[in-house]
Amino acid sequence: MQPELRSLEQAMLGLRDHPELQPVIDQHGRVEFSALRLKQVAALLRNDVAAMFLFAAADLNRTALRSGTHAPDAQLVAPPLRRAFVVQAKLPLAADFATVVELALQRRAATLGRNANAATESLFRDRLAFEGLPVTMKGAYTSGILVDRRKPDGVYPDPATGKAPELYLEVKKVNRVRDDIQKRLYEIAEVSLEVKFLYGSLELRGLNLPDLLSDEGREQARGVLRAQIQGVRPVVIALLICRQEELELAKRFRPRAEAFINRLFFADEIDECLAFMAEIAPAGTPAP
């Protein structure tokens, strides 16, 4: 468990003694949320740890909470109590204290994971700026088929120009290669086929095989697919960030991934990745 999560767990366990919660927790560790008055919920929300606990019990996030405070019924409540009104309406009648703590920790762990991924993208965005590459990495959306508005991790030219992408970058952090890498590669392959169909001249011709692929046939099939994919714009590049000790395992997936995308790079190949990107979006070139 991460140090922040361990510290949060201890703080949440300490909520058993919170003056607003202690009276509504029975001897079996069951929290009678229905016994909480509106002002008690408001008092709990002023404590960050207690607020996380209540959000987990109510299955709310801060975005839903803000939205809820603008609902017609919430407008009837005094402004200082509106957040508490929204939370109280979503709380279960009762729930096991330990179970709610575990749920709250899971939600926080997911948030920390998203923050780590965002930090990875931010670091690479700074590196692109240092290199002078005109690749847009923030707030850019392109049109999609499966997903109406796709958010690439990097794209050139800037979609704000209205021009079709020539380069499409995906940056993925892979925490456990053995468990997660295939999922990430599925996502990238899907994006590649979609954008090359929309913005390039992709034409796929199937092999019409009479039986299942053998190992030898699989390599041949990858080669045929790669030949059809490679010359089509936009150029799709993936950069996977994983632990050093898992690089050897991760790199075994490169031939499979490059049947669907142009190039797959890893964290120890940043310079090669930047050099390849510069061929499509030369350093110092102003965004069109």
pLDDT tens string 181-215: 999 999 999 999 999 999 999 999 999 999 998 88
Reply yes or no on whether the pLDDT at 5 is more than 80: no
Does some domain include residue 250? Answer: yes
Q: Taking residues 205-228, what's their average pLDDT?
A: 91
Do 65 and 177 belong together in one domain? no
Do 70 and 185 belong together in one domain? no
Does some domain include residue 198? Answer: yes
Do 228 and 184 belong together in one domain? yes
Q: How far apart are CA 13 and CA 6, in angstroms?
A: 11
Do 145 and 95 belong together in one domain? no
Give the pLDDT band (50/70/90) at residue 120. Answer: low
pTM of the model: 0.61
Does some domain include residue 121? Answer: no
Does some domain include residue 125? Answer: no
Does some domain include residue 122? Answer: no
Reply yes or no on whether the pLDDT at 61 is more than 90: no
Q: How far apart are CA 276 and CA 137, in angstroms?
A: 17
Does some domain include residue 285? Answer: no
Contact residues for 65 (Cβ-Cβ < 8 A; gap 6+): 55, 83, 86, 87
User: In this structure, what DSSP letter does residue 154 have?
Assistant: E
Domain count along the chain: 2
Do 227 and 92 belong together in one domain? no
Do 243 and 183 belong together in one domain? yes
DSSP for 67-128, written as a single string: HHTTSHHHHTS-GGGHHHHHHHHHS-S-EEHHHHHHHHHHHHHHHHHHHHHHHHHHHHHHHH
Do 178 and 105 belong together in one domain? no
Do 137 and 276 belong together in one domain? yes
Give the pLDDT band (50/70/90) at residue 267. Answer: confident
Could you tell me the sign of the dihedral formed by the alpha carbons of 15, 16, 21, 25, in that order?
positive
Reply yes or no on whether the pLDDT at 110 is more than 90: no
Do 136 and 95 belong together in one domain? no
Do 13 and 86 belong together in one domain? yes
Looking at 110, 141, 163, which one is the last position of a domain? Answer: 110
Q: How far apart are CA 107 and CA 81, in angstroms?
A: 25
Does some domain include residue 156? Answer: yes
Do 142 and 16 belong together in one domain? no
- AA letter at 204: L
Range of the domain at 249: 132-280
Does some domain include residue 127? Answer: no
Do 152 and 185 belong together in one domain? yes
